[in-house]
Structure 1
Amino acid sequence: MNDNHPAGQGPTRPLTVADVLALPVMAAGRPQVVTGVPHLDRPVRWVHITELTDPASFLKGGELVLTTGMPLPEDAAGVRRYVDELADVGAAALVIELVRRYHRPPDALVDACRLRGLPLVTLAKDVNFLEVTQVVHALLLGNQADAMRRTQRIHEAFTALTLHGAGPEDVVRAAAEMSGRTVVLENLVHQALICEPSGSTVDEALTDWEQRSRATRPGDRTAICGPEGWLTAPVEYQGERWGRVAMLPARTDGGPVFGPEDITVLERTAMALTVARLIHPTPWERTAHRNALRDLVERRHHSAEDARARCAALGLPSDRNRFVATVVDLRTGNGGAEPETRLFQELRAAGVPALVGELAPDRIGILLALRPSQPWRPIVERLCSTALGLASQAVVSVGSEVTDLSDSARSFREAARVAEATPPGQPLPPDRSFHELSDIGLRRLLYALREDTRIQEYTEQQLGRLIDHDTQHGTGLLTTLRHYLDAAGNKTTAARRGGLSRETMYQRLRTIERLLDWDLESGEQRTELHVALMALDVLRAH
């Protein structure tokens, strides 16, 4: 485990040979490392004092062996055998005191230790080996007690997550925070559904994810595997393997890549994810698409590289250079994951890579990734057919084509504006089944802005006195004004449309001018009144 954690929260680094040599009780002997300098980071599991010619038979590995040198064989072959047995059993280091028998380490011992990569340390002064044992063992036992307490906290944390019904994002985030490592949840086809980076970026974690993941063969248990040394654990659902969770090694680590606590964290992560899968019925692939789309729309990615890596890890080709955002408003009030699934399946059947996810209740966002020469209109027409099959009143809106994934937010924003400016029952253009930005005229723009109080205030300011007069006196001046404006100021045409004589029309227009204090011969003022009438129609209809 690494030790880059906040004080009191993370794991303690294992005690190493270098740590023991730095202890005051050892430093008093003026230790000198003769061989094995690169291996001083070996963890020390125990300290063993010996004056036997075959100490390896009493060792289990990881021991720091202390000796006065008295039992060393006289012959070089015996010395080599002595060192080989220590190295074979996995001793951490050999410490020899140069006080009684030797005043310099024998050449045969130095050569044997160097050959086997066993750290050989000499002590120039007498050291109380028993005191060394007591100090080191106290430290080791203290570390073990700390490790037990940390393991207990890990179990308690995941138990609390499960009891609170945590979703997969919460579980993976907790694993990354506890381990200080990047943690990734993937499905069986090697799509990274959730990535919680720690000490790295999403880009660094997920670039070429599928290729790297396929090179890391799955196992039946928690294990370190693959060329990058990932720690992985299988995730099951109803007795069948569903995917796996991977903990990535940190870029810089002074000790072992993964320790027992990492394994505990990942195993509990896998268990908690299994429970979360049972609690949260929405397919996690759909949730991953939703989250990725919402992050794109709201520009929540740290960088364009992070966005590309995350989307590519979900199956959106990173080499595509054309993207189109589509918004499907079902307008049913039902919601649910089925429409997302149906639309995604339709695109997959057409061989079109895309992200599909719910952006808001009853509103589904779709990001199409297109090849350079691939037209998008036939694809959207196919989506329209599916959407209308799901809901007869569905409205499909399209944003402009963009050439960079980071610009997809603009395409989605345009598609959303088109959707907001499309009232129920809005006729479709004659040549297509969807709406786009060029379809928005003045009336649809006012419809989109209908909840803005400034539009409401403007309408009341322009027409309020006329409406009040009609209400109080039973006149139809508002209708007369509408006929006049629709006729572009032609009084004869307006009179004919209203079934009025020319004289009556003139009289009514003078009354309108007096009530509103407007000059109806002014083109600008007629335009302002026409806009107010359109706004009034929109406000009354909706």
Structure 2
Amino acid sequence: MRCPDPAGRPLTVADVLALPVLAGGGPRVVTGVDRVDRPVRWVHITELTDPASFLKGGELVLTTGMPLPDDAAGVRRYVGELAAVGAAALVIELVRRYHRPPDALVDACRAHGLPLVTLAKDVNFLEVTQVVHALILGNQADAMRRTQRVHEAFTALTLRGAGPEDVVRAAAEMSGRTVVLENLVHRALVCEPSGGTVEAALTGWERRSRATPPADHTEVLGPGGWLVTPVEYQGERWGRVAMLPGPPGTTAAPSFGPEDVTVLERTAMALTIARLTRSAPWERTAHRNALRDLVEQRHRSPADARARVAALGLPTDRTRFVAVLVDVPAREDTARAEARLSEELDATGHQALVGLLAPTRLGVLLALRPSRPWRQAVERLSRVALAPAPGTTVSVGSPAPDLADVARSFREAARVAEATGPGEPLPPDRSFHERSDIGLRRLLFALRDDTRIQDYAQRRLGPLLDHDARHGTDLVTTLRGYLEAAGNKTVTARLGGLSRETVYQRLRTIERLLGRDLDSGDQRTELHVALQVLDVLRGR
């Protein structure tokens, strides 16, 4: 027995004709072969000359042919009334009155576009109505249950404060279709592909979206056949959510059903509530998520990454990308810094993604033409970040020639940030730090939590530190002065306010305690590095 598909589409004329209860009658579609996909709302048995007056539309009309008028004009009137009321099809049994369909009936049905089906054998019409009505009612009950589940799912999302990504993902899972949330300037903020890729869903998004006209309610629009609905509140429109037909990239896709409309409308409602209850604008959330995916390389492919970034308005061809990290002193400074950076980039016309990557860290991905000097753009951005929050640190990675190389640029910027201690002085010519600024001390600062570095300092200087602690001496200071004087004992004595003999005596004690030869350049270098580690660990 053929039944409605799992998506819950209505029972059609073709479905009914395929049922065993009718198939046994040898049904043949005489007219309207291309219209047997019409939905069947009910089955109506009639032997009246004017059955249309008892119909509401969508009925499959069953008749033995006994009431058909004898004259052609009467047949045309009979068929015309059925067509006008919206009957799904006319099924006539060729057993009692007719053994072939009358020409007038065939001509009238063809003229009105009404499917005409003949039955060559006797069929129990009552059994047909029982079977079909059971299927229709069962289908309606299933549809009601599915609709109820949709409402319950979105209600649960709303109650737990779900964000736009969760809402759009739920819509895609329920419908089995790609769902996209866009803003008023046709930027795709959230995309949840179903059965395809982000690349297929978002490539050329702005062009395709602008070709799809705006709608005041849920409807199918545009050359792509998108099901769209606005997202708005009290007359203020924020964007729209679109459901794409079938797997992205296909030309022939199943039509949208009532459930799809329900899912999309509940999606728009949940998005409206999320917008009203969450402080972060959609665009900012979209930037944050796109940045995190780029930094953590969570895209399925480079093509998906390019499509998503392009759909957010950033160029991807002939573009150089620069990763910038802005570390603010306190968590409460992030929102203000994020807003100021976004405003500055908009004001200067720079195309970029700005978003929160960690509680006190903002990420900025600048998209610049190769001919545009990147340091100048970063300098201006850095000054904007430093102004409202003293103690902010701006770190930059080297430019990435392609979007696929952006993660590397952010890793470099992170290493620069790790090597930059609180209050680290800025270079004289700029207000940000980059990889070339990392010297020995900053490298050791970045590695300060590594136990191997700590062990190195302890093995090289531990005995000396222990001696000073037990005896109240300050041999470490003498060693530091000697190393900073490049092994010149006279300079060491003068800078330390000591006699040469005292310096000689202390140096011999140091050599004995450490088991080192201070005349060896290599060993002096090792001790100098160990002192640098000690300073870093003590926060000097």
TM-score, length-scaled by structure 2: 0.91
**8 A Cα contact 1:4 1:180, kept in partner:** no
Distance 2:94 2:469 in 1: 114
Do residues 223 (structure 1) and 219 (structure 2) align? yes
- Measured after TM superposition, the shift of residue 287 of structure 1 is 1.2
Matching residue of 2:243: 247
Equivalence map 1:177-192=2 (5 Å): 177-192=173-188
Distance 2:44 2:251 in 1: 28
Do residues 59 (structure 1) and 55 (structure 2) align? yes
Distance 1:440 1:301 in 2: 31
Query: Closer, same or farther in 2 for the Cα pair 1:255/1:493, shift >3 Å?
Result: closer
Distance 1:166 1:292 in 2: 18
**Aligned partner of 1:532 among 525, 530, 533:** 530
Matching residue of 2:405: 407
Equivalence map 1:224-303=2 (5 Å): 224-237=220-233, 240-251=236-247, 257-303=255-301
Query: Closer, same or farther in 2 for the Cα pair 1:533/1:265, shift >3 Å?
Result: same
- Measured after TM superposition, the shift of residue 274 of structure 1 is 2.0
Which deviates further from its counterpart, 338-347 or 131-140?
A: 338-347
- Measured after TM superposition, the shift of residue 85 of structure 1 is 4.5
Q: Percent identity?
A: 77
**Aligned partner of 1:377 among 372, 375, 385:** 375
**8 A Cα contact 2:334 2:362, kept in partner:** no
- Measured after TM superposition, the shift of residue 103 of structure 1 is 3.0
Matching residue of 2:22: 26
Equivalence map 1:345-356=2 (5 Å): 345-356=343-354
**8 A Cα contact 2:4 2:15, kept in partner:** no
Distance 1:123 1:254 in 2: 33
**8 A Cα contact 2:246 2:254, kept in partner:** no
Matching residue of 2:153: 157
Output one character per residue of 1:85-105: Cα deviation in whole Å (capped at 9) or x when no partner: 444443333323222233344
Distance 1:4 1:313 in 2: 37
TM-score, length-scaled by structure 1: 0.91
SS of equivalent to 2:538: helix
**8 A Cα contact 2:460 2:514, kept in partner:** yes
Q: Which one-letter code corresponds to 1:22 in the other structure?
A: A
Matching residue of 1:478: 476
- Measured after TM superposition, the shift of residue 380 of structure 1 is 1.0
Output one character per residue of 1:364-385: Cα deviation in whole Å (capped at 9) or x when no partner: 1111111231111111111122
Matching residue of 1:511: 509
Matching residue of 2:171: 175
Which deviates further from its counterpart, 342-351 or 159-168?
A: 159-168
- Measured after TM superposition, the shift of residue 72 of structure 1 is 4.1
Which deviates further from its counterpart, 48-57 or 354-363?
A: 48-57
Distance 1:316 1:367 in 2: 10
**8 A Cα contact 1:41 1:254, kept in partner:** no
Equivalence map 1:68-467=2 (5 Å): 68-73=64-69, 79=75, 82-107=78-103, 109-110=105-106, 113=109, 117-237=113-233, 240-251=236-247, 257-467=255-465
- Measured after TM superposition, the shift of residue 504 of structure 1 is 3.1
- Measured after TM superposition, the shift of residue 110 of structure 1 is 4.6
SS of equivalent to 1:356: strand
**8 A Cα contact 2:333 2:389, kept in partner:** no
Which deviates further from its counterpart, 243-252 or 143-152?
A: 243-252
Distance 1:237 1:65 in 2: 46
Query: Closer, same or farther in 2 for the Cα pair 1:492/1:82, shift >3 Å?
Result: farther
Mark the runs of 5 or more structure 2 residues left unpaired by the alignment. Answer: none
**8 A Cα contact 2:9 2:257, kept in partner:** no
Distance 1:255 1:385 in 2: 52
Distance 2:256 2:452 in 1: 61
- Measured after TM superposition, the shift of residue 239 of structure 1 is 5.0
Distance 2:102 2:514 in 1: 114
Instruction: Supply the RMSD in Å over aligned alpha carbons.
Output: 2.6
**8 A Cα contact 2:231 2:241, kept in partner:** yes
SS of equivalent to 1:478: helix
Q: How many pairs are equivalent? A: 536
**8 A Cα contact 1:197 1:205, kept in partner:** yes
